[in-house]
Structures are given as C-alpha cells and as structure tokens.
Amino acid sequence: MKNYSIAAIPADGIGPEVISAGIDVLKALEKRLGTLRFSFQTFEWGSDYYKAHGVMMPEDGLAQLKAFDAIYFGAVGAPDVPDHITLWGLRLPICQGFDQYANVRPTRILPGIESPLRHAGPGALDWVIVRENSEGEYSGNGGRAHRGLPEEVGTEVAIFTRVGVTRIMRYAFRLAQSRPRKLLTVVTKSNAQRHGMVMWDEIAAEVAAEFPDVSWDKILVDAMTVRMTLHPQSLDTIVATNLHADILSDLAGALAGSLGVAPTANIDPERRFPSMFEPIHGSAFDITGKGIANPVASFWTAAQMLEHLGEADAAALLLSAVDQVCAAGIKTPDVGGSATTRQVTDAVIHAILES
Ligand code: NAI
Ligand code: MG
C-alpha cells in the first residue's frame, strides 16, 4: 500500500466546488485499486483568509506545505480583491518558492465534447504545452515611480537566464521524446524582442542537439495562434515563455471545447519540493455556488498528479472514466450539457468503481 499526503488548497470561487469533487473521485480510485491511499489536509487560504488576516496565506505557508507529496489547488480570485494581490499572494509564491519551473498543460478534444473548430473531432488535437514557469515576463522584476504624476513610469522587465531557458528546453525536448510523434514546436518572438528571445532561440538549438530523435521547429507567437486554429494536427509538444504559453494555453483550452476541462501541472522536475496540480480556469465568480462548475479539469489535473507520483495505471483509469462519462453526454452547461457538478462527479465515480 502506497501512502500519499496531499495538501488541498481549494481557495476561491468555484475552487472549493471542483476540488471537493476531485477528492471524492480520488477516494473512489483508492477504493477501486486498494493499492494506494491519500491523506488530504485542506488549507483554508485565499481571499476570505486575506479579508480576515491581510494576507492570502500565513507567513510560514510554504514551510507548512513542504513536506507534502503534492498540492491540489483550486483557483484564486475574488470580485472585491485586486487580482494581482490574489495571484501574487498565493499561487505565484508557491510556484516560485518551490521552483516549479515546468508548467505542463495537456489539451485534447474529449469524446462527446465539440470543438469550435468545424473540422476538428476527437484525435484532431492532442497537444502538450510546456510553459516556462519561473522567470520570463512574470519574473516580477520592474517597478513604478512618480506615482500619480504626469511623468509616472511603470516597468515590467522580462528576465531570461541561461539556466532557466536551458532547463525548460530540456524538459520540453524530453517530454516530446516520450510521446509517439517526437515532435516539438518552440514558440518565440525573436523578430521583435531581440535580446532574451534571441537567446531563447539559440539555447533551443543547442538543447536540440542533445535530442537527435526529436523533430523540432520554431514559430513566432503571433503565427502560432493561426497554426493552432488552422492546422491543429501539425502540433504535438509545444514550449513557450511564461506569458506566451499563458495566452496560448487559454486558446488551446477554448479550441478543445471549454476552459472547464483544461488542466495544468506546476512541476519541480528535480523533486526537491512538492509539485502543484490545478485546473487552468480561475474562480469563475459568475457561476460560483450554482453547482454547475465543470469538474473535468480538476479530475484531469488529479490524473497528472497521479502520473507525477508514479501511479500511471491509476491516472489512466481516471482518464478513461472521464472519457466514458463525457462520451455518454453527462456534461455541464459550459460544454453543452445540462448535468450538475455532482452528477458528473457521481458518474465518474461510478465508472471508476465499475471498471
Ligand atoms: P475564469 O476562468 O474564472 O472564467 C472565465 C469563464 O469561463 C467564465 O465565464 C466562467 O464561468 C467559465 N469557466 C471557468 N471555469 C469553468 C468551469 N470549471 N466550469 C464552467 N465554466 C467555467 O476567468 P476570469 O473570469 O477571467 O477570472 C475570474 C477570476 O479568476 C479573476 O479574479 C482572475 O484573476 C482569477 N483567475 C485565477 C486563476 C488561477 O487561480 N489559476 C486563473 C485565471 C483567472
Ligand atoms: Mg491564464
């Protein structure tokens, strides 16, 4: 029996709804397999905690999380707290503090879910986007001066380091190598951004030499939006900067049918710290409390967590249960169905227990 300790941080909006659904599904897997056990500890951090204490998490938050095998995260964001406070107060300190430098975002059109692309059915789009998650445009470097005066300035400085770019390229090439097509697309903007992005391209070419069996190409980020939309089959594994991949992965989620199904893993590949698994979507306050949040992204990211923990069979079982339920048309309204979060969750649990 393997024991895994999981820190759950449901946080804001629909976060608690989809994380509790995910915990129920993981418990069903536990029951079905009998070979693994999860002990969950829930941390009530987020915007309510901020309103009570003036911070999104306690000062020793990272120390409290460090001993866990993984972190299962919902979403942050509240209508009455500025977004840069919620994001920089909880999610980013965890990603940066635990050096989760590889953000991995798989996209696939699930059975029974319609892509807005007219000709793309299941199988037409099967991508993994690797997002640099520790530096680049979101390094936090910059500042404001002369606030409120006509001469006010704000700078937002993108930082690219040789260490940072090399390690994300290696991660992406290795991931591409592990997938059947062995195909990597490097996204860049080295025509307009002639310093950091040119170095990014050079390091991509250097790392490529270590992976002779991986075919790779390079594309400007603006052209990439066109390629994703018009030639989705031409892509497999994709690597991009923090900002570029942030934007492209929302597009990927939309092309696969809904943001409500898109998962993400914030990985420390060296396993010095716990990695963090979360849906891509935010707190979705427009649907909070209505019981209709799509839990599929939080199930899929739970499968990523299982894979990271070395439980590939459990991950495959979970994903196949999700596929079955989607194919049967048990879907929430964001993907054209009429089921509730609870109904989708119960159907996935049923599929796991009956498998
Ligand atoms: P959002 O992802 O929360 O919502 C965008 C749209 O997608 C909304 O119409 C929402 O109802 C829908 N949606 C999202 N997830 C869904 C799900 N599971 N099922 C059904 N429909 C779903 O993004 P938005 O509205 O831009 O941001 C809301 C708040 O979330 C903001 O405060 C933002 O800063 C925060 N946010 C947090 C993120 C995180 O914690 N990682 C990521 C993105 C946004
Ligand atoms: Mg985003």
- Cα(181)–Cα(192) distance, rounded to whole angstroms? 31
Q: Are strands 275-279 and 263-267 parallel, antiparallel or unpaired?
A: antiparallel
Index of the ligand 1 atom closest to the CA of residue 286:
11
Regarding the beta carbon of 283 and ligand 1, being less than 6 Å apart is answered: yes
Residues 327-334 have a mean pLDDT of 95
Q: Which two tokens stand for residue 65?
A: 């999380």
- Report yes or no: 172 and 237 within 8 Å, Cβ to Cβ: yes
342 exposure class (CB count in 10 Å sphere: 0-12, 13-18, 19+): middle
Tell me how far apart the alpha carbons of residues 298 and 73 are, in angstroms, rounded to a whole number: 9
Q: Are 325 and 344 in contact (CB under 8 A)?
A: yes
100: closest CA among 219, 323, 216, 274?
Answer: 274
Ligand 2 centroid vs 129 CA: distance in angstroms? 13
Closest ligand 1 atom, residue 75 Cα: 40
Q: Which of 155-164, 186-195, 256-265 has the lowest mean pLDDT?
A: 256-265
Average pLDDT over residues 165-190: 98
**H-type helices in the chain, by residue range?**
15-33, 47-53, 61-65, 83-86, 92-97, 162-178, 196-208, 221-230, 242-255, 296-308, 312-327, 341-354
Task: Tell me: ipTM over 0.95.
Answer: yes
Nearest CA to ligand 1 atom 30: 282
Please name the residue whose Cα sits nearest to atom 6 of ligand 1: 284
| Cα of 1 from ligand 2 centre, angstroms | 37
Q: How many CA atoms lie within 13 A of 305 on its CB side?
A: 29
Kindly indicate the confidence band of residue 259, based on its pLDDT and cuts at 50, 70 and 90. confident
Residue carrying the six token digits 């299941």: 122
Residue 257: per-residue pLDDT: 87
Q: What is the radius of gyration, based on Cα positions, of the chain?
A: 20
pLDDT band at 124 (very low <50, low <70, confident <90, very high): confident
